[in-house]
């Protein structure tokens, strides 16, 4: 798992580690990692300017500047020379760095104005540098975090310094993984992490993200299928049955796509419950699905998916599903019918607009602070909430929030959410905890979209078709990290 920690947890871990290391050792490790990244990014003939603030973030920048000044032209623009890191300033002078007041003429800018000690926003000369950068468009490398962002909340104020890449130290920070701040931290989607030895001193993370190397959670959900001799015989019922009560005559496609997601996942069987005509069309399309039109005759399921394209029937369907006392995915129209308390293990899957309605706030407020709002909803219903977005979040009231790092902007397409809900339902039916079902579904869904897209437009149906091969590759260890996401920006 990739992990992010809060500022206070990073500071506590740093203090514990510093008590056992030479003074300045951590800063030198950070600076060496930063200098190494700049070296990889820009050839030696490219001059670099370092923006230096008054704290240790500026200290990292100064030592990296000193290291690189032996190889290339390096300048430092310092917020306040009298308050800058003393050892770092001496090293930069001794190495022959130029001291300048502007970023003009430097194709690479390293932003060491503030790191985790910064208050959101920019002040003093940094405001002017921001304007210069906006005009000149140099390549900006942020030190630890882009200066001015809200590091724990991942929100962005009006004034901050967007980066093309970020080099971070010890662990990820929330602002590097969660939008909107994460959008401004790196053009290819993920900050570079430099190990400075904090690992053993870090507590439970604030955020976690599944990676291609994390097959353990997937294997747990596949266990009913792969149990073999120790687990007894395997048949479709032991793998789990997922019930899909989705779609309406108006949104027939939602039923198809939700079933497409459900049948591609871990469950052994899909039951569909819906209107006569729709049930017939689902079976025509997917003959392996068992369809019912009368709720009283729908057999047992291990999990329900309710609401995708559900129209007016969504409320009644949700009530009925909750009455079955099995885990449930509550999607789209059914979210408006949530009871005050949900008594079964549940995964709520709103997008920003639906979450805003659930919480009685504006959609803009959710988009400006998705992490805060998904946490609020998880607490409010004491259940797992999956907030769909470019970086989908899955929050449970008692666990680190999971952020999904797979996918492509092409996945923002009609019907993709229906596929996700069905897929999550199949993992629930196979016995996964809602937090794992949601995180696995988001991971596989994003990876399938990336595979199906190949860098261009993709349909929700094509995403569903790509799920099986992605699960197979993930299980077999042949899923490449570079193949699960495509976040290149223009």
Ligand X SMILES: NC(=O)C1=CN([C@@H]2O[C@H](COP(=O)(O)OP(=O)(O)OC[C@H]3O[C@@H](n4cnc5c(N)ncnc54)[C@H](O)[C@@H]3O)[C@@H](O)[C@H]2O)[C@@H](O)CC1
Residue 281 structure tokens: 């069309």
- What 3-state DSSP class applies to 5? strand
Least gap, CB of 196 to ligand X (angstroms): 6
CB closer to ligand X, 9 vs 354: 9
452 within 8 A of 469, measured Cβ to Cβ? no
Q: Closest Cα to residue 446, out of 171, 304, 261? A: 261
- In this complex, which beta carbon is closest to ligand X, that of residue 47 or of residue 197? 197
Binding residue ranges? 254, 309, 351, 388-392, 417-418
CB of 111 or CB of 333, closer to ligand X = 111
In the complex with ligand X, the residue whose CB is nearer, 124 or 323, is: 124
Q: Which residues define the annotated binding site for AMP?
A: 388-392, 417
Among residues 81 and 249, whose Cβ is nearest to ligand X? 81
Give 273's strand partners: 292
Task: Rank residues 58 and 162 by Cβ distance to ligand X and give the closer one.
Answer: 58
Least distance to ligand X, CB of residue 143, Å: 5
| Least distance CB 255 / ligand X (angstroms) | 50
Annotated binding-site residue numbers for (6S)-NADPHX: 254, 309, 351, 418
Cα–Cα distance list, 33 to 67, 118, 233 (Å): 11, 21, 53
CB closer to ligand X out of 6 and 57: 57
Q: Render 224-281 in DSSP notation, one character per residue.
A: HHH-GGGG----HHHH-EEEEE---STTHHHHHHHHHHHHHSS-SEEEEE--HHHHHH
Residues near ligand X (CB under 6 A): 10-11, 14, 26-27, 30, 53-60, 113-119, 121-124, 126, 143-144, 148, 169-170, 196
* CB count in 10 Å sphere of residue 457: 10
- Name the residue with tokens 């999607």: 331
Collect all residues with Cβ–Cβ distance below 8 Å to 243 and sequence separation of at least 6: 270, 271, 272, 273, 298, 301, 303, 304, 305, 321, 425
Residue with Cβ nearer ligand X (53 or 247): 53
CB of residue 360 to ligand X, shortest distance in Å: 32
The span from the CA of 422 to the CA of 256, in Å, is 10
- Conformational region of residue 455, where left means phi above 0, alpha means psi within -120 to 50, and beta covers everything else: left
- Residue pair 189/403 in contact by the 8 Å Cβ criterion: no
State the residue for tokens 């430097």.
106
CB of 52 to ligand X, least distance (A): 10
Of 76 and 348, CB closest to ligand X: 76
- Smallest gap, in angstroms, from Cβ of residue 206 to ligand X? 15
**Minimum distance from CB of 38 to ligand X (Å)?**
15
**Contact of 65 with 92, CB cutoff 8 Å:** yes
Longest dimension (CA), the chain: 82
Following DSSP, what letter does each residue of 46-72 receive, concatenated? S-EEEEE-SSHHHHHHHHHHHHHTTTS
> In the complex, what is the shortest distance from the CB of residue 307 to ligand X, in angstroms, rounded to a whole number?
43
Closest approach of ligand X to the CB of residue 124, in Å: 6
Residue partners of 314: CB distance under 8 A and separation at least 6? 306, 307, 332, 333, 334, 336, 337
Q: How far is the CB of 461 from ligand X (least distance, A)?
A: 45
- Cα–Cα dist 58/52, whole Å: 4
Nearer Cβ to ligand X (111/331): 111
Helix-helix angle 434-453:416-429, to 10 degrees: 140
């Amino acid at each position: 798992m990739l992990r992010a920690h809060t500022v206070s947890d990073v500071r506590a871990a740093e203090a514990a580690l510093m008590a056992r290391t030479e003074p300045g050792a951590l800063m030198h490790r950070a600076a060496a990692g930063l200098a190494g990244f700049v070296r990889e990014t820009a050839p030696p003939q490219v001059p670099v300017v370092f923006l230096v603030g008054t704290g240790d973030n500026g200290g990292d920048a100064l030592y990296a500047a000193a290291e690189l000044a032996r190889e290339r032209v390096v300048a430092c623009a310092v917020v306040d020379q009298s308050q800058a890191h003393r050892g770092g300033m001496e090293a930069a002078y001794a190495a022959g760095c130029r001291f300048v007041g502007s970023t003009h003429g430097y194709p690479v800018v390293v932003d060491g104005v503030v790191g985790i000690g910064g208050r959101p926003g920019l002040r003093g000369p940094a405001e002017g540098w921001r304007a210069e950068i906006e005009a000149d468009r140099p390549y900006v490398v942020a030190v630890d975090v882009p200066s001015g962002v809200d590091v724990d909340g991942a929100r962005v104020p009006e004034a901050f310094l967007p980066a093309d890449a970020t080099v971070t130290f010890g662990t990820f920070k929330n602002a590097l993984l969660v939008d909107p701040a994460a959008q401004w931290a790196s053009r290819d989607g993920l900050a570079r992490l430099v190990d400075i030895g904090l690992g053993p001193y870090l507590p439970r993370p604030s955020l976690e993200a599944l990676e291609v190397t994390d097959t353990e959670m997937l294997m747990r959900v596949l266990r009913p299928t792969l149990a073999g001799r120790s687990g007894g015989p395997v048949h479709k019922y032991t793998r789990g049955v997922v019930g899909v009560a989705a779609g309406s005559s108006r949104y027939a496609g939602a039923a198809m796509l939700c079933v497409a997601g459900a049948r591609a996942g871990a469950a052994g069987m899909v039951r569909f419950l819906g209107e006569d005509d729709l049930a017939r069309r689902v079976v025509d399309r997917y003959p392996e699905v068992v369809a019912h039109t009368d709720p009283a005759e729908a057999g047992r399921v291990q999990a329900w998916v309710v609401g995708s394209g559900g129209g007016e029937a969504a409320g009644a369907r949700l009530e009925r599903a909750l009455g079955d006392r099995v885990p449930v995915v509550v999607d789209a129209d059914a979210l408006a019918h949530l009871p005050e308390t949900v008594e079964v293990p549940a995964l709520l899957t709103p997008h920003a607009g639906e979450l805003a309605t659930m919480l009685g706030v504006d959609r803009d407020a959710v988009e400006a602070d998705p992490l805060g709002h998904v946490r609020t909803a998880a607490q409010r219903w004491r259940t797992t909430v999956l907030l769909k977005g470019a970086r989908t979040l899955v929050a449970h009231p008692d666990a680190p929030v999971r952020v999904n790092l797979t996918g492509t902007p092409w996945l923002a397409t009609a019907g993709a959410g229906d596929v996700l809900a069905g897929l999550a339902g199949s993992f629930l039916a196979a016995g996964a905890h809602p937090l794992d079902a949601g995180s696995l579904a988001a991971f596989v869904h994003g990876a399938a979209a990336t595979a199906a897209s190949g860098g261009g437009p993709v349909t929700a149906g094509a995403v569903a078709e790509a799920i099986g091969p992605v699960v197979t590759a993930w299980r077999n260890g042949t899923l490449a990290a570079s193949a699960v996401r495509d976040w290149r920006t223009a």
